[in-house]
Amino acid sequence: MNADPTRLLAREMAARLRTGETTARALAEAHLDAAERQNHALNAWLVIDRDGALRQADAADAVLAGARRDGPGALAALHPLLGIPVGLKDLISVEGGQCTAGSRILEGYRAPYDAHIVERLRDVGAVFLGKTNMDEFAMGSSNEYSAFGPVSNPWDLDTVPGGSSGGSAAAVAAHHVPLSLGTDTGGSIRQPASLCGIVGMKPTYGRVSRYGIVAFASSLDQIGPFARDARDAAALLHAVAGRDARDSTSAPVPVEDELLHLPESDDEAVAWLRGRRFGLPREYFVAGMDPDVERRIHESVAFLVDAGATVEDVSLPHTDYGLATYYIVAPAEASANLARYDGVRYGLSRRLEGGDFIADYLATRGEGFGAEVKRRVMLGTYALSAGYYDAFYVKAQKVRTLIKRDFDEVFASGIDALVAPTSASVAFRFGARMTDPVSMYLSDACTLPVNMAGLPGVSIPCGLSEGMPVGLQLIGPAWSELMLFRAARAFEGLTAAATWRNLEPAQLAEADDAAGPTPAERAAALAAAR
């Protein structure tokens, strides 16, 4: 056995906590040490809360000790996340803590209450290690739009981890935590999961309460888990999912306990595939796609077929409009959601100078928001303005219905789930897409239709391309998270012996170098060489 506890999966940690082989404090310390040691090189964390984490860990150890006294029944009844370190994207409110959403405009702001998902995780005794870096207001696909600097991908420190939940993905890939949470409005969980070689799920819209989460685009945002395998991700989803009266869009759909009992044996997991019908949407193999990524996806499909599933070519004809309509709907909603950062209610609290309210407002937003956020607010305000509302916003919502209908028809024809690339390329170098916003927007061409339709999607590792991780995306009908995790678990079973499984991220060891360049310095060096 590897003696380093950070190399364990969450459920392996849970088992060791129960036998007394380790303690929540020892787990927290090992993970905190790794995060503190490597954050100079990775910048995945905006806050590493050693004191808070150790306090929570001690509380978890007290619960474990009590259960041990009460006997095996009490131990078995403990929640699987008790004492397990978790990372939270820095747009999730934790009472009394910072919540910057990656923006200068929220610097100094303290969250007045816990988000619903934070309450849930506290109830089960998870240990919060800290807050993770992200693109400003979750707008971006590379984490380069964070006001607090870029994040390095542990597989290649000169490349991006994806975004907007880049810190959460990099932290799990780097073994700083076994689990983290992110949000996905157009791909921000699945795309960084793909680029970092881990599992990331965007659940069905309404599956997880958004109460206490900084809003980007309210009709698209969903919270979801990152983990190093399907079972760990399913356990985290199970802990946070379900109806919450404080988010009127959170649905009273039961959360299946089977999420905690995905098959342990690879054979049993793979057997589930027999007779399943998968669809391969031809529109997701976009022009300009990295041919090696495409090869990995087709190999994955062949594995599924070998295991007794059928994979059929299907068409989602309105896919092409996904990007254009997303970039009307998302900025429109963002422009409304971000109106509250006005220097009065939120944002760079400064004193009204000479009572000039407008000047103060302009200065707050002018200095507080980054360029990408301003671009979105302008796009959104334009799309919602009186003369253009029908032509742009209403039209985009109609096309959104067509996008949703494409998926409905495919699933109605008996297809269980769709198999597709998550991202058309592997992780790209810092700066590669920074000068052309549209090239950055194209990063999510394969993920954002799923948000437009409100469906669940999961990205799972399916191999490497020139040493960098490739993600396979599985998309299902609404509320089919359990089925998607069964499929993901089956794929893990199929590829359990593959050489790329359980590899350490190639350049993670280099992140130990506290004298080496930071991600921002790497990005600057690459820009200078360009």
Interface positions with ligand GLN (CB under 6 A) = 138-141, 164, 184-188, 216, 330, 444
Phi, psi dihedral angles at 468 (to 5 degrees): -110, 145
Q: How far is the CB of 477 from ligand GLN (least distance, A)?
A: 21
Q: How far is the CB of 145 from ligand GLN (least distance, A)?
A: 8
What tokens were used for 361? 């407002």
Alpha helices in 180-248 (DSSP H): 190-196, 230-240
Q: Which is nearer to ligand GLN, 138 or 259 (CB)?
A: 138
Distance between CA atoms of residues 308 and 464, nearest Å: 24
Distance between CA atoms of residues 474 and 318, nearest Å: 18
Q: Which of 176, 276, 215, 243 is nearest to 483 (CA)?
A: 276
Distance between CA atoms of residues 318 and 403, nearest Å: 5
Contact in structure between 93 and 115 (CB atoms under 8 Å): yes
Distance between CA atoms of residues 135 and 102, nearest Å: 6
Distance between CA atoms of residues 379 and 391, nearest Å: 14
| Chain position carrying tokens 């309460």 | 209
Q: How far is the CB of 78 from ligand GLN (least distance, A)?
A: 34
Contact in structure between 135 and 334 (CB atoms under 8 Å): no
Q: Which is nearer to ligand GLN, 79 or 131 (CB)?
A: 131
User: What are the catalytic residues?
Assistant: 89, 164, 188
Distance between CA atoms of residues 351 and 373, nearest Å: 24
Q: Which is nearer to ligand GLN, 28 or 139 (CB)?
A: 139
Q: How far is the CB of 439 from ligand GLN (least distance, A)?
A: 12
Q: How far is the CB of 444 from ligand GLN (least distance, A)?
A: 5
Q: Which is nearer to ligand GLN, 140 or 242 (CB)?
A: 140
Q: Which is nearer to ligand GLN, 326 or 411 (CB)?
A: 326
Distance between CA atoms of residues 357 and 59, nearest Å: 48
Helix (H) / strand (E) element for 465: namely strand 457-465
Q: How far is the CB of 451 from ligand GLN (least distance, A)?
A: 7
Contact in structure between 173 and 197 (CB atoms under 8 Å): yes
Q: How far is the CB of 475 from ligand GLN (least distance, A)?
A: 15
Distance between CA atoms of residues 351 and 357, nearest Å: 10
Q: Which is nearer to ligand GLN, 214 or 462 (CB)?
A: 214
Q: Which is nearer to ligand GLN, 143 or 209 (CB)?
A: 143
Contact in structure between 361 and 343 (CB atoms under 8 Å): yes
